[in-house]
């Protein structure tokens, strides 16, 4: 009977299917370059992603900058460590996580300046494995692009540790670093 235990006709089959799906998702998430990674990520983060559709457009620029600078799928940086992905708390786990922390701080500075970097769309180009957006005139577009460009550049220099992918929040702790804001006198 193809591995289905006969304790109850539908219950056993459902349990087996659930564990097969769970195994598929876990194995797919181990390698961000796996073609099934996107499906697995969406399956795991459905609750996190719902309600975030509005921030999709600006995040696409960040995703492109990451692909340009690192050659990696941007999904390799979602739910990585304590700061990569939505939200963030505790102490960053490694250099990649620090990149995400600084990116969050950069977006915070842009928001304090009245911008919406998570939804800001802007034009950029990939030149020599670097995101370039020198020709932007709009202040908010410039700020969003600079944040994304610096994060992607930071990722390209930082070693990637798969063990921090899907890192549980409770291991991040409560103590967190402060953002360093540069204050300019006008």
Distance CA 30, CA 164 (A): 11
Active site residue 161: no
Beta pairing partners, 80: 84, 165
Q: Which residue has the tokens 């009245």?
A: 114
Q: Is 166 exposed, middle or buried (0-12, 13-18, 19+ CB in 10 A)?
A: middle
Can you tell me whether residue 53 is helix, strand or coil? helix
Active site residue 103: yes
Binding-site members for Ca(2+) are: 83, 85, 87, 104
Catalytic hit among 7, 17, 97, 103:
103
Distance CA 160, CA 83 (A): 14
Catalytic hit among 2, 7, 128, 148:
148
Find out whether 14 and 20 touch, Cβ atoms under 8 Å: no
Contacts of 31 (CB under 8 A, 6+ apart): 37
Active site residues: 103, 148
């Amino acid at each position: 009977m193809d591995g289905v235990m006969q304790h109850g006709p539908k219950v056993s089959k459902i349990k087996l299917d659930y564990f097969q799906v769970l195994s598929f998702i876990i194995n797919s998430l181990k390698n961000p370059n796996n073609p099934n990674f996107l499906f697995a990520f969406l399956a795991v983060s459905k609750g996190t992603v719902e309600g975030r559709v509005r921030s999709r457009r600006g995040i696409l620029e960040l995703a492109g900058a990451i692909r340009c600078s690192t050659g990696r799928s941007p999904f390799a940086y979602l739910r990585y460590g304590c700061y990569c992905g939505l939200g963030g708390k505790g102490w960053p786990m490694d250099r990649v996580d620090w990149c995400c922390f600084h990116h969050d701080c950069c977006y915070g500075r842009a928001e304090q300046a009245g911008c919406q970097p998570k939804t800001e769309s802007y034009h950029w180009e990939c030149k020599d494995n670097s995101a370039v957006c020198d020709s932007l005139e709009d202040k908010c577009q410039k700020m969003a692009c600079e944040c994304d460009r610096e994060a992607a550049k930071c990722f390209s220099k930082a070693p990637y540790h798969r063990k921090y992918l899907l890192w549980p929040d409770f291991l991040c702790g409560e103590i967190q670093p402060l953002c360093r804001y540069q204050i300019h006198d006008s």
